[in-house]
Structure 1
Amino acid sequence: MATNDNPAAQPSEEEVLISVVLPVYQVQEFLPECLDSLLGASQSFGGIEVVAVDDCSPDGSGALLDEYAVRDPRMRVVHLPENVGLGQARTEGLARAKGDYVWFVDSDDRLTCGALAAVAERLRQTSPDVLLVDHALVNPDGRVERNARAHLFQDAPETFTLGERPGTLDLIMTAWSRVLRRDFLLGLDLEFGRGYYEDISVTYPSLLAARRLSMLDRVCYHYQRGREGAITSTSSPKHFDLFGQYERIFAFIDREAGTAEPFRRAVFDRTVRHATTVLATPGLVPGNLRRDFFRRASEHFQQFRPRDYSYPSGLRGLQYRLVERGAYPAYAALEPVNRLRLALRATLGRARGAARRTPRLVATALRRAYYRACLRLPADDTLAVYAAYWNRGYACNPAAIFEKARELAPGIRGVWVVAKDRTASIPPGVEYVVDGTPRCLRTMARAKYLVNNVNFPYELPKRRGAVLVQTQHGTPLKKMGTDLRDHPAAARDMNFDRLVEQCGRWDVLVSPNPHTTEVFTRVYPGGYEVLETGYPRVDRLVNASLDRANRVRGELGIAPGQIAVLYAPTHRDHQNETAPVLDVRRFGDQLGDDHVLLVRSHYFDIQRISSSRSVVDVSSHPSIEDLCIAADVLITDYSSVMFDYAVLDRPIVIYAPDWETYRRSRGVYFDLLAEGPGPVATTHERLVEVFRSGEHTRPSAAERLARFRDRFCPYDDGRAAERVVRSVFLGEPAPGESAAPSGRTSAAR
């Protein structure tokens, strides 16, 4: 290891207040400006030393360091014989530092004019363990943007503790954003981590342990944004290093529980926010590793969640719930919204006049402006836009209508709107646009037909003359729409005025049965036409062949002769947290070897279940219809899957241990226990008894199912999608009633 240490050419230890530790690797282009900002005429304070660590850089950076060291005795250079990474390079520099304070500067950034003098004055006035300094971002085009959290520096007392100003944890946790008392840092026995995000394993613990903090409300540091090779703009598996670094932080909290424990919850929240931000930032986590990164985040969440932790509100809270539950498909469906929010946050930073407006409001305004401009383009009478489940993918009634339209109305071009990370759900040969993109907005604005099972975004109304087909996605047992005014726990923050306005945009409502027509036309008021056709998605069940059932069963690993039981509960949206309703592992074992339990959790409530011979987790399976086709028996509670499954004329068992609570809090339209499709169990023991006694296969159960099917499946004859297509796209008269076939079948062969 080479060094140019020359005691005669360096300031004495008494003269050194600040040691700048400068790790250097392949930054030849930026290094002169960085060194000039440290040692040049722009700095009037001379009581510093610069310990530059050449991390075996392959370019000319090492030679540049030596040239500067020859000219300025305040600089020392250490040449490492092999590349050790940014964290270890900082450690090497710290070991050679002599100043009272240490400032870890990145060699592609720079200090602002007079920064060292301002920092030195603040250090002498306050003698802190940690001094936090403000920064600005320098864009590739030279524009400079003030730190978005600069307000946290305003009106700060000269010194304080973290307990007095816990919001300090919201500041950026980089090594360069703080100046640390050297003896304090060495006494913490910390090391910078290896790989990406190496500094947080020091910056967090040092902030948690500090007894005396100070802040300097002055931009002292310019951070170079968007540099090629920077981790904030590099796609790499190394972003997984994030989790290991946070593990070290929580180990420190455990070790120093006396001082750090009160901040565990705040650190945990930053942990999840950091992981979700990395995942949401385009181009960081490679596409083929995104699901694995999400899985690691979920494991990390479950491992380190504090006992007193509660979810934040809004979109972030929903993200956190999905992370904890490992619900990647649902999380991925939300990512376009979050990415748009992050992108527009950057736009806000560039426009001070808009800085007080939330990114979401600005995003909405920008989308609306572009969309309304596109509405002036000519309409395309041959274009139909499809979407399902908030753009989560190709599914449900819209998919069934799309497939039938390709057959019966080939002159209508169908295009799907899908979230960017759900494009894999689109079958080969199906055209799609990515949600939120200009192409998507332009396509929606020009379309003659719009088909969805939920509402399209409020800020994107249909063009004049367009036809909006609302299919919904289930027969209502629970209260819906405007009926939720009387059930605020379930309605949450629903905007009923906006809901009614959106219903006014509907032209056609597809209904599966008279019960749904009666409910929906009341709770979704509007002047639309109702097509009582049956549900298009159910056609797949009615028309399913034995070969299809056996093929799906084989893909799921169901052994020949095994009885497949599908357990598909719904979400309790009146609860903040949802505990498992059924102990599926115990129940699967109790069913016996001749049964297999397929567990389909709701995407808001996904539990981590390891599959075994008796239990198979099918929560991430792309098709609930295929799971129904494969199953011999359905167990559910309040899910609309029971109405679809009933057309198969196979046993349905209701497991509703919280019926009374659900009925009071969510509200229901009929008594499921009295009018349901099969035997009812309200305890685990009773559910086991139903299966052991064979009650679900008795004639009394079949009679109950027949009554249920007559009431809720009168039109399900396998031609519902055809009736919708003929009515909407071909202009044929609205269909009349159709008798559904009957006859019990079994999937097991």
Structure 2
Amino acid sequence: MLAPSALLSNAAAAEPPLVTIVALCHNHVRFLAAALNSIAAQTYPHLEIWLVDDASTDGSPEVLRRYAAQHPEWHLLLLPHNVGNCQAFNQALRQSRGAFVIDFATDDVLLPERVARQVTFMQAQGPRCGVAYHDCELIDEQGQHVRYHFRRDAQGRPVHPVPAAGDVFAEVLRRYFISTPTMMFSRPMLADLGGYDEALAYEDFDLWVRASRNWQFGFQDEVLTQKRLHPQSMSRKAYRPADPYVASTIRVCEKALAMCRTPHELAALATRLRWELRQAVRFGNGAAARRLFGLLRQTRQTKPLDYVAGALGLVLK
């Protein structure tokens, strides 16, 4: 017969894992109620909620204070100065305790079964799975359906195959395929990486590269999140004048080059660099084009047309 202490130990081991949701807000007042209501509607009960406002100027802090008062177990962190997503997330992460962590932008929406379904999936993948992600519904500013993240064929399969599980390092170098709001992280993976790189203007590409080098990713073929599309989204600013993200993209590509171990991985990185180079040329960003072409040459995977783009970069400002 087990001693009482052993029974308590077994019961503790069987407890569902705590999940931390870091809800990051910067001027999301129009969408904040829908986002926070979607947290409160989760069917998974073992949650630790951090409401983090990154110095909003649109009334968001007042809404966050109201929800924190309605949910005393939620944590409220109002930052006095705008520090950006990476640092804001890390501040909450360092104080949190969850075995799994979700970075939740408060212009998006979690469907009610999101956390419960994703925890079950992560546990099934095993301890080497550092990131789980899934399909999502893209919605407009009014919350209306636009499309799904993954285009699908008549049989409902993604048109472009999605890595189902395992090592995705070369794939994250080659192309964008993960919908950022759908990710759930394991705490050991985040601890291994030291959280987000606070020197960068955005986090997802860097996290994919660094995490996928030593951790496995898992794709869950379900729609559990709604991602909102609006004019302030990062993708609408890429490579335009005063783009705040291009320097971070180049820095991540530099990191990736140092991590590549095989010709296959270098070829994947060259595909990414080639695309970024052409974007830089397209929008007249000569400084970025020159740096990207220099990285592309270091992969030893250049093609004749790459030199045309590189030459155009030399004549652009």
Deviations 1:266-310 (A, max 9, x none): 234224424544775xxxxxxxxx43x134223322234344414
Residue 27 of structure 1, CA deviation: 0.8
Q: Is the partner of 1:98 in helix, strand or coil?
A: coil
How does 1:675-690 map onto structure 2 within 5 Å?
Answer: none
Which residue in 2 is equivalent to 1:183? 188
- Maintained 8 Å contact 2:101/2:186: yes
Q: Is the partner of 2:251 in helix, strand or coil?
A: helix
Deviations 1:664-691 (A, max 9, x none): xxxxxxxxxxxxxxxxxxxxxxxxxxxx
How many equivalent pairs are there?
295
Residue 34 of structure 1, CA deviation: 0.7
Which residue in 2 is equivalent to 1:263? 265
- Maintained 8 Å contact 1:51/1:96: no
Quick one: which amino acid aligns to residue 234 of structure 2?
Answer: I
Residue 131 of structure 1, CA deviation: 0.9
- Maintained 8 Å contact 1:243/1:300: no
Q: Which consecutive residues of structure 2, in runs of 5 or more, have no partner in the other structure?
A: 1-11, 153-157
Deviations 1:468-521 (A, max 9, x none): xxxxxxxxxxxxxxxxxxxxxxxxxxxxxxxxxxxxxxxxxxxxxxxxxxxxxx
**1:203 pairs with 208, 223, 228, which one?**
208
The structure that is strand-richer by fraction is 2
**1:143 pairs with 139, 142, 145, which one?**
145
How does 1:345-384 map onto structure 2 within 5 Å?
Answer: none
Distance 1:209 1:152, change over 3 A: farther
Which residue in 1 is equivalent to 2:75? 76
Q: Does 1:303 align with 2:308?
A: no
Report the Cα distance in structure 1 between the residues aligned to 2:186 and 2:87, rounded to whole angstroms.
19
Quick one: which amino acid aligns to residue 322 of structure 1?
Answer: V
Q: Does 1:218 align with 2:222?
A: yes
How does 1:300-699 map onto structure 2 within 5 Å?
Answer: 300-311=292-303, 318=305, 320-325=306-311, 327=312
Which residue in 2 is equivalent to 1:98? 97
Distance 1:247 1:234, change over 3 A: closer
Residue 30 of structure 1, CA deviation: 0.5
- Maintained 8 Å contact 2:296/2:302: no
Distance 1:301 1:238, change over 3 A: same
Which residue in 1 is equivalent to 2:33? 32
Q: Is the partner of 1:305 in helix, strand or coil?
A: helix
- Maintained 8 Å contact 1:192/1:199: no
Q: Does 1:116 align with 2:118?
A: no
Distance 1:250 1:149, change over 3 A: farther
How does 1:732-743 map onto structure 2 within 5 Å?
Answer: none
- Maintained 8 Å contact 2:21/2:48: yes
Report the Cα distance in structure 2 between the residues aligned to 1:248 and 1:161, rounded to whole angstroms.
19
Report the Cα distance in structure 2 between the residues aligned to 1:305 and 1:173, rounded to whole angstroms.
27
Distance 1:20 1:172, change over 3 A: farther
Quick one: which amino acid aligns to residue 265 of structure 1?
Answer: A
Report the Cα distance in structure 1 between the residues aligned to 2:174 and 2:224, rounded to whole angstroms.
19
Quick one: which amino acid aligns to residue 56 of structure 1?
Answer: A
Q: Is the partner of 2:39 in helix, strand or coil?
A: helix
Q: Is the partner of 2:194 in helix, strand or coil?
A: coil
| Off by >4 Å, runs of 4+ in structure 1 | 152-157, 193-196, 277-280
- Maintained 8 Å contact 2:20/2:98: yes
- Maintained 8 Å contact 1:48/1:74: no
- Maintained 8 Å contact 1:106/1:176: yes
Residue 15 of structure 1, CA deviation: 5.5
How does 1:237-256 map onto structure 2 within 5 Å?
Answer: 237-239=241-243, 241-251=245-255, 253-254=257-258, 256=259
Report the Cα distance in structure 2 between the residues aligned to 1:188 and 1:276, rounded to whole angstroms.
31
Report the Cα distance in structure 1 between the residues aligned to 2:49 and 2:34, rounded to whole angstroms.
14
Distance 1:81 1:133, change over 3 A: same
Quick one: which amino acid aligns to residue 236 of structure 2?
Answer: S
- Maintained 8 Å contact 2:24/2:106: yes
Report the Cα distance in structure 1 between the residues aligned to 2:67 and 2:108, rounded to whole angstroms.
17
**1:230 pairs with 224, 228, 233, which one?**
233
Report the Cα distance in structure 1 between the residues aligned to 2:277 and 2:36, rounded to whole angstroms.
33
Per chain length, whose mean CA-contact separation is higher, i.e. which structure has more relative contact order (CA < 8 Å, sep 6+)?
Answer: 2
Largest Rg, 1 or 2: 1
Report the Cα distance in structure 2 between the residues aligned to 1:48 and 1:297, rounded to whole angstroms.
45
Q: Which consecutive residues of structure 1, in runs of 5 or more, have no partner in the other structure?
A: 1-11, 281-289, 312-316, 329-607, 609-618, 621-749
Distance 1:153 1:179, change over 3 A: farther
Quick one: which amino acid aligns to residue 206 of structure 1?
Answer: A
Report the Cα distance in structure 2 between the residues aligned to 1:230 and 1:170, rounded to whole angstroms.
19
Report the Cα distance in structure 2 between the residues aligned to 1:243 and 1:101, rounded to whole angstroms.
30
**2:175 pairs with 170, 175, 181, which one?**
170
Residue 72 of structure 1, CA deviation: 2.5
Distance 1:270 1:119, change over 3 A: same
